Structure 1
Amino acid sequence: MGAPGGLVPAAQAPLSPVAGLFRHSRLPTQSPGTWRMALLSHPHWEAVPPLLRDLLAEIGQMPFASRFYLAGGSALALRLGHRVSVDLDFFSGVDEVDDDSRAEIVAAFKQHRAIEVLENVFGNLLIEVGDTHVGFFSYGYSLLEPPAAVLDVRLAGLLDIGLMKLDALISRGARKDFYDLYFIAQQIPLEEMLHQGPVKYPYARDYEMMALTSLTYFENADQQMAIESFPPTDWETVRDFFVVEARRLGRIWFET
């Protein structure tokens, strides 16, 4: 999991699993209730374990749920069905996940299930429910797309998940993040994500350079276990895609 990087001021910014280089302590004024959400028409439930589906249904009825949205691998798996994902990562641009918020979330879970608190610090709450890790993180950047609704849980859109995956690549370069971004890029070109990055992360310096560099940093990913994807896609295919795209986009951004 990545820690905040050095491109933007990070005062008071809590650690986040996708924090990368773009964390900032400013929380936007946009209320999560301002989006007009549509139901996700065909969630890929086959891509998540039954416990995760049950947890989503329970979380959707908890009082704090409207302050958070689901992003990360499980949100993407529900949208695309491209791989199995077993954890839940919730983010908020309006909830700082302070002492009161973390206590509220823990108490709500304990009314339903036995849990283990793994991390409990300002901005971050990570709990374990059975074999599932459930995280709640303060993430001070607005969503660019309206979320969808799944079991009364807000689900981030593909563009926002893609930009957060770019953030994750800069921070840690995990193989699963490359796979996730590869499948997103089949629907939203990387070029569009690079254009939208400074909109989502207005305080990031040299965003395009850092993002393009991260696309070919495979040192960590090369050492990690194979990812089972749907349709089956080997690591070399994913790796080669990003090498070609980084060269192409580098010419567009820095040689013209």
Structure 2
Amino acid sequence: MNDELLKDFFLVGGTALSLQIGHRISIDLDLFTMVSFDDNQMLSGLEDKYKFQLDYQSKNTLKGEIDGVKVDLITHNYPLVKPLLNSDGVRMASPDDIAAMKLNAISGNGTRLKDFIDIAYLSSSMTLSQMVDAYEAKYSSRNPAMVIKALDYHRDINFNEPIEMLEGKYKWKDIEQRLGQITLHPTKMFNQIYELKPHTQKEEKQSRNQGLGLSR
């Protein structure tokens, strides 16, 4: 990312998160900037240098492919919660910023399975309270209460979305269980997701009742 053309852009999304916590395979490049850019000039530069194949273009937005890899360039004019990270010359958003963006995506459009999986895996390095704090810092006009509701609502998820994990195959019941745990215990940091032990229905009910103050 030392190219002058991309000097204002940084990597976000699942690929940036995977590079940091190593949970799933993601090769899509989501490149965000906090400033406006000339999409026509950018398109010309990307086509010349990288054989960029355009799929979609609008103001401050380019979506396409480079050598079969999906690449999105988007202006996302919201403040950084934490400074950008730099790994081997790759500028990328912090886990706090990625968590905020993931929560924003879930509360706005809860169809992407990978967003729920990413939040579940982030719970081993951040508490939900920390994620929500990051969300509030980044999107000050949004309602954080909607985030909690969205994390518990799974009817719109596209379960046909292909997901490839670095540690075997994901199990939705483990992801769903973890999402339930973090909403019940928002200040707690949890073990790695693959260390989860399946709860019985009775145990899960007891856990939820305790979290709501309904059992002794």
- For this structure pair, what is the TM-score category when the shorter chain's length is used for normalisation? 0.7 to 0.9
Could you list the runs of 4 or more consecutive aligned residues of structure 1 that deviate by over 4 angstroms after TM superposition?
none
Give the TM-score normalised by the residue count of structure 2.
Answer: 0.78
2:136 to 198, 202, 215: 198
Q: Which residue number corresponds to residue 155 of structure 2?
A: 219
* DSSP-derived class of the 1:82 partner: coil
Higher Cα radius of gyration: 2
CA distance in 1, matches of 2:132, 2:50: 41
SS state at 2:49 partner: coil
Structure 1 partner of 2:14? 73
* Higher RCO structure (Cα 8 Å, ≥6 apart): 1
Instruction: Report matched runs for 1:40-189 at 5 Å.
Output: 60-93=1-34, 95-97=35-37, 101-173=38-110, 174-189=112-127
Q: Deviations for 1:188-214, whole angstroms, at most 9, x for unmatched residues?
A: 11111122322111122xx22110011
Residues 227 and 104 of structure 1: CA distance in aligned 2, closer, same or farther (over 3 Å): same
Q: Is the 8 A contact 1:128 1:134 kept in 2?
A: yes
Equivalent position SS for 1:223? coil
Question: Matched residue of 1:79: which SS?
Answer: helix
Partner-residue secondary structure (3-state), 2:23: coil
Q: CA deviation at 1:117?
A: 1.0
Measured against aligned partners, the alpha-carbon deviations of 1:29-57 in whole angstroms (never above 9, x if no partner) come to xxxxxxxxxxxxxxxxxxxxxxxxxxxxx
Does the Cα contact within 8 Å between 1:125 and 1:137 map onto a contact in 2?
A: yes
Tell me the SS of whatever aligns to 1:188: coil
Matched residues in 1 for 2:72 and 2:160: separation?
Answer: 23
Q: CA deviation at 1:145?
A: 1.1
Task: Give the whole-Å Cα distance in 2 for the aligned partners of 1:156 and 1:230.
Answer: 21
Counterpart of 2:62 in 1: which secondary structure?
A: strand
Structure 2 contact 107–147 (Cα < 8 Å) conserved: yes
Deviation at 1:228, TM superposition (A): 2.8
> Structure 1: how far apart are the matches of 2:64 and 2:88?
20
- Conservation of the 8 A alpha-carbon contact between 1:64 and 1:105: yes
* CA deviation after TM superposition for structure 1 residue 132, in Å: 1.0
Corresponding letter in the other structure for 1:122: K
Question: Structure 1-normalised TM-score?
Answer: 0.67
Distance 1:109 1:190, change over 3 A: same
Q: Distance in 2 between matches of 1:243 and 1:63?
A: 44
Unaligned runs of 5+ in 2: 187-207
| C-alpha deviation, 1:151, in angstroms | 4.3
Q: What is the alpha-carbon distance in structure 1 between the residues aligned to residue 13 and residue 133 of structure 2?
A: 21
Give the aligned partner of residue 208 of structure 1.
Answer: 144
Once the two structures are TM-superposed, the CA of residue 81 in structure 1 deviates from its matched residue by 1.6
Structure 1's unaligned 5+ residue stretches are 1-59
